[in-house]
Amino acid sequence: MTAFTLRYDNPDRFVAGTVGEPGDRTFFLQVREEDRLSSLVCEKQQVEVLANQIAHLLDEVSARSLSSIIIPPPVAGVADTRPLDAPITEDFRIGPMSLAWDSRHDRVVLELFSDDVEDTITGFSEIDTAELEEGTVCIIGLTPAYARQFVARAQAVIAAGRPVCPFCRQPMDPDGHVCPRANGYLNPLR
């Protein structure tokens, strides 16, 4: 059993955001409900995978008619462009994540476990919570519309990073990039 649980059943805000400059950013998932605020540190890839899996889950629920409510389609623009809420104080670093559809309440449910959980589970898998003996978990319930908004913002945050080299697909620095596909030649950005 986990040592500490943060529960947000009806959050006012759940967003992905960053602190720092592209190439040196720290990624956060931040959730707020009334006067409670949690800021969870994560990797860029975790934000990307989470956004993709939420979008996939909502598409599956809609396609299989597993909900009594209408699942909204993907949104084109980001509604919440505000920065992360201050103070940005790390509650924990995210390790294993779990994602599910709660058909009783028509909600997406996230379980974000701290990385100090002694378990070998990574990514999106079935997590036997009886085996977890320590650490913290943050449980978040999202309406389908709010989950779609999270996906849109997370994708925008990910895209706001460094440009990607069209040849080797690695991130490029503002000073240029030593591309392994160009035999190591350094081409400055124009």
Q: How far apart are CA 16 and CA 41, in angstroms?
A: 10
Domain range holding 186? Answer: 164-190
Q: Does pLDDT of 84 surpass 60? A: yes
Q: Does pLDDT of 124 surpass 50? A: no
Q: How far apart are CA 91 and CA 29, in angstroms?
A: 10
Kindly state whether residues 169 and 99 are assigned to the same domain: no
Residue 160: CB partners within 8 Å, gap ≥ 6? Answer: 18, 22
Read off the pLDDT of each residue in 140-167 and give the average, rounded to a whole number: 91
Residue 190, classed as helix, strand or coil, is coil
Kindly state whether residues 67 and 138 are assigned to the same domain: yes
Which residue would you say has higher pLDDT here, 91 or 68?
91
Q: How many domains are contained in the chain?
A: 2
Kindly state whether residues 130 and 148 are assigned to the same domain: yes
Coarse DSSP helix, strand, coil percentages of the chain, rounded to the nearest 5 percent = 20, 35, 45
Kindly state whether residues 121 and 140 are assigned to the same domain: yes
